[in-house]
Each structure stands twice: as C-alpha cells, then as structure tokens.
Amino acid sequence: MQLDNEKLRSYYSDPQEDLSLDDVDLERLPRHVSIIMDGNGRWATARGLDRSRGHVAGVDALREAVTTSVRLGLDAFSVYAFSTENWRRPQREVDLLMHLFATTLVKELPLFHQENVRLRFLGDLDALPERTRVVFQRGLDETRDHTGMTFALAVNYGSRAEMTRAARDLARDVLEGTISVDDIDERAVSERLYTAGLPDPDLLIRTSGELRLSNYLLWQLAYTEFYVTDTLWPDFGKWDYLRAILAYQGRSRRFGGVTRQ
C-alpha cells in the first residue's frame, strides 16, 4: 500500500514526550501488523465500571488503530476480537460483544469506504448470531472491490481449529484425487488457512502485559516480532502504536539465519 507522507506527518503532528515521527524509518515499516486486543475488562474494573464499558471503549481504540495502520501504509492489519474459547464467558458479555460487532461495523463502513479499506474475517462465522453474520456479509460485499489496506478481524477464531480444518481439507483433497500426498507442503497448508493470500504478520502487538499467544495465528507467527505493552487496550493510542513500530525497527530479523557483519 502506498504511504502518504503528508497525511502521516499531519496525523502525528501533535508533540508527545520525546517521541517523534522523525525517529521512524519510513522505508522499513512492516507490511502486516496484528494486535491481540487485551485488557478491556480490567480497564473497566479499575474505574469501577461494568466490563461492558471496557468493550465499548475498546471500539474507540480499534478505530484509531485502523486509521493509524492506514496512515502508515500497511498492506494488512489484523486483530484478535473473539476467540473460540470466548464463548465460555458470561452470556450477557457474549451477547454484548456480538451486538458491538454488528453495530460497530455498520457505523465504520463509511470510514472503510473513505480509506479504501478491504474487510476480511478470520474464523468460523457460522456459529455467530444471524444478525451479526448478515452485517459481516454486508461489510464484505461493500468493501470487496477496495484496493487499499486489508483489515482482518478474527472472530470465533482459534488457531488449532484453523489448522485442524486445513488438515481435514487436505485429507479430503487427497481422497478425492485432486492432489497427492507429495503435494502437501507449507504452501499447500497456508493456502487452506483463513489468512490465505495475506502476508504473515511482521509485528504482533499484545496489550495488557500478558505473555501468551492465546491460540492466535500459531502457524502465521512463526517468524513474527513480538511487542508486549502493559497498556490496556482502551488506552492504546497512535503514539503507543508508534512505539511498537520503533521497537520493531530496532530488531534484527534473521529468519533462522545469521546477521551479516
């Protein structure tokens, strides 16, 4: 995706401590950033609020993160919104999240049109409430021809379930004779994952300080750089995002090799 330096500098024009856009190498930005959005409930509890208020506040943080990703010229931006394990949460909280997914998507469609963002979903959507599925399909249909950044929302997603599904699809293809066992390689597996066609994430950000992947993109994150911050998701803003980019640019990505001296 083409980087618009003028828009980016305008976006980061407000002074913030000693951080500046000039500290960032705009020639070495990641293609794909993914975020595990964590800490909504703790954010609300710390303020004496119901957990639901944390999820609502998290929507505002997500909107800013999408805008920031567009301004940075990313090819892809993905977030972990609802896992296959999140169904274990109280029904009231699950219902609220499903309602938020639907209402937020409708509200944000004008932004996606304005920024030429293409929407995509990762996960098994069949288990979602009908209204949520209908709204998701509307988002897919309305942004299908957009040519800018891909925004991938992982909903009812679990990486082990994703890989099990890919293995089942490959086994079925072998049984049907469309491929042979020898055709199964890393590319064949990748093409049957929800992320098929997307670049693997270069940078994974996890908020709230937790040091685990929570069954997220286990295949795709094989050589991804991790950045963990204690900041709770509703408080994560564009300057926090910039700090993560700076940390990423300070890493040496060797992909199993060695750094040339």
Q: Is 38 a catalytic residue?
A: yes
Catalytic residue among 86, 124, 200, 235: 86
Cα–Cα distance, 90 to 66 (Å, whole number):
28
**CA 187: distance to chain centroid?**
22
Catalytic annotation present for 86: yes
Q: How far apart are CA 89 and CA 71, in angstroms?
A: 35
Cα–Cα distance between 215 and 232 in angstroms, integer?
A: 20
Cα distances from 76 to residues 27, 33, 59, 88, 147, in angstroms, run 17, 7, 19, 30, 11
For the packed helices 91-114 and 51-71, what is the interaxial angle rounded to 10 degrees?
A: 20
Distance CA 250, CA 172 (A): 44
Task: List active site positions.
Answer: 38, 86
